[in-house]
Structure 1
């Protein structure tokens, strides 16, 4: 199992459309990457109050090589291009060391 984490840092005045993210963006990512070993996608939203993040997505793939293949696939451009539709926050993308 390999994990790709996408986090959205909190910033005063930042825009993040949670409904769009869940209804449109997450299904777009699933569709783009399911053929490249994406096994699950989970989104966490912090509880109310001060927090360093607005949201975090945990994307689980079969292996690190699958993450490489997904990120270099043609569908990734569409996924990344959709970010501006729900937020003005630049996401932080990193891998967990779980292999």
Structure 2
């Protein structure tokens, strides 16, 4: 069963690491060796966590890359569930 309205990984990044550690977007971007825009888009929910970013976050904050990707997958699946009934997909079955 999927989590009800899981948070975007960027929200977790901001609430669990950036705010408590008093890190700015600029400081975080420099530590991750990515652009400020990249971190800003993730923190503000406009971009997702890619596998490469998940590894960067693991190296910086210690939370596993798999965990970051699991949060992203949960968020993405919940978003799709919101319009699942509108998807026009035909069921395909193996020949018998």
Same fold (TM over 0.5): no
Output the TM-score relative to the length of structure 2.
Answer: 0.32
Structure with the largest fraction of helix: 2
- Greater relative contact order (Cα 8 A, min sep 6): structure 1 or 2? 1
Structure with the largest fraction of strand: 1
Output the TM-score relative to the length of structure 1.
Answer: 0.31
